[in-house]
Amino acid sequence: MSIDDAPSDVVSSDPNAEGYREFDLGGFHFRRDEFFAHISWPTGYHVMSIDTFLRALQRDVAWDFFYGTVNFDHVFGTVNHYGTVDMFAGRFNEAYRKAELDHLENYETPLIRDTFKAMLDDWTIAGFDPFASPAETATPFGAKAGSNTAAVTRRRVTAARMVGVPGDEAVRTDETHPINRMFADVSQDEPEVHPEPGFENEVAAFNLFAYLSRSDVTWNPSVVSVCKNSLYCPTTEEYILPIVHGNDRVEWFVQLSDEIVWDVQDRDTGAARAKVTMRAGDVAAMPGDIRHQGYSSKRSMLLVWENASPELPELIRTGKASVYPVEF
């Protein structure tokens, strides 16, 4: 079944002058032309470069609205309530709030999910891969010309136990995932595993650096190991994180290689809070009340460690859990 046939209540137009469908979701209207995404709502209008918009949209779709807030930029974004999703304009922008120009609507997750999926597929032209580094993809600009459904619907790696465990996510090979140009020097040795008879299904190990050296996507944490609600979500980063993530829980970062610079701001107002430069071996905890965006000059490896407990947002909101993992 193609995305066009998907049963849903997605509201869209026939192709416009540039060949792209326009979409409506509640009071929001979405239009793309050769260079921009144009977003309007009953009291306002916003414009974003189409490359920034599609890269953010791709992640919001692939991560099913992620943890907390996904800001596409300083105006537009979504908040996940795990069952419903808010879409907002100006909600986390102090100037919009003071001028009472902010707008927010809440939808059942399937409706916004289907609308975003259809928009991402229709607005992504042949050759453009929103998950790729800008150095490894063609341009998103221009009139409608083909599509890239395989790229925008690629399967997200989500291990049930761990990569390499029998029946779980497979380790990567030359056939499926060639080594990325920026990680040509990464050792491809794999650990030897000698489980006792009867434990073949329980004992496993793999080379995480080799695994990550073969990632064809950027800024896309994938789940490689799971212990109850503790998820190891490593990712390879090049250029700029296409969203500004507003946390609803604490998140740990372990910089596995190279360097990332993080801009950290107040989650609700966007006021600057910190500039964090993380070099290989550095560990940081991002508090539960901030938003952050990373910059990686050279492709780097980052381990994002998530606590997926569904109780956390409420515990933090009611003050029962701290926004910091430790108080000194």
Q: Identify which of residues 102 and 248 has a Cβ nearer to ligand PHB in the complex.
A: 248
Q: CB 87 → ligand PHB: shortest distance, Å?
A: 19
Q: Identify which of residues 129 and 251 has a Cβ nearer to ligand PHB in the complex.
A: 251
Q: Which stretch binds Fe ion (CB under 5 A): 15-23, 211-219, 238-246, 256-264?
A: 238-246
Residue number closest to Fe ion, CB atom = 245
Q: Helix H segments across 47-205?
A: 50-62, 94-98, 109-123, 149-152
Q: Identify which of residues 90 and 287 has a Cβ nearer to Fe ion in the complex.
A: 287
Q: Which does 235 bind (CB under 5 to 8 A by kind): Fe ion, ligand PHB, none?
A: ligand PHB
Which residues does 44 contact at the CB level (< 8 Å), separation at least 6?
A: 89, 90, 101, 103
Residue number closest to ligand PHB, CB atom = 245
The answer to whether 247 touches 227, Cβ cutoff 8 Å, is no
Q: Identify which of residues 58 and 115 has a Cβ nearer to ligand PHB in the complex.
A: 58
Q: CB 307 → ligand PHB: shortest distance, Å?
A: 12
Q: Which does 219 bind (CB under 5 to 8 A by kind): ligand PHB, Fe ion, none?
A: ligand PHB
How far apart are alpha carbons 62 and 324 in whole angstroms? Answer: 28
The answer to whether 105 touches 115, Cβ cutoff 8 Å, is no
Q: Which amino acid is at 6?
A: A
Could you tell me the two tokens for 83? 């069952």
Q: Identify which of residues 30 and 296 has a Cβ nearer to ligand PHB in the complex.
A: 296
Q: Is residue 267 part of the contact set for Fe ion (CB under 5 A)?
A: no
How far apart are alpha carbons 255 and 44 in whole angstroms? Answer: 40
Kind and range of the H or E element at 212?
helix 208-213
Q: How far is CA 24 from CA 80, 118, 255, 304, in A?
A: 20, 11, 40, 34
How far apart are alpha carbons 278 and 296 in whole angstroms? Answer: 10
Binding site for ligand PHB (CB under 6 A): 219-221, 235, 237, 241, 245, 251, 302, 304
Q: Which does 128 bind (CB under 5 to 8 A by kind): Fe ion, ligand PHB, none?
A: none
Q: Identify which of residues 96 and 219 has a Cβ nearer to ligand PHB in the complex.
A: 219
Q: CB 285 → ligand PHB: shortest distance, Å?
A: 11
How far apart are alpha carbons 201 and 195 in whole angstroms? Answer: 9
Q: CB 128 → Fe ion: shortest distance, Å?
A: 25
Q: CB 256 → Fe ion: shortest distance, Å?
A: 16
From the list 55, 245, 249, 299, which residue makes contact with Fe ion (rule: CB under 5 A)? 245
How far apart are alpha carbons 256 and 232 in whole angstroms? Answer: 13
Q: Identify which of residues 48 and 302 has a Cβ nearer to ligand PHB in the complex.
A: 302
Q: How far is CA 205 from CA 74, 221, 223, 232, 296, in A?
A: 42, 20, 15, 14, 28
Q: CB 264 → Fe ion: shortest distance, Å?
A: 10
Q: Identify which of residues 119 and 301 has a Cβ nearer to Fe ion in the complex.
A: 301
How far apart are alpha carbons 75 and 93 in whole angstroms? Answer: 6
How far apart are alpha carbons 304 and 289 in whole angstroms? Answer: 17
| Contacts with Fe ion, residue ranges (CB under 5 A) | 245, 251
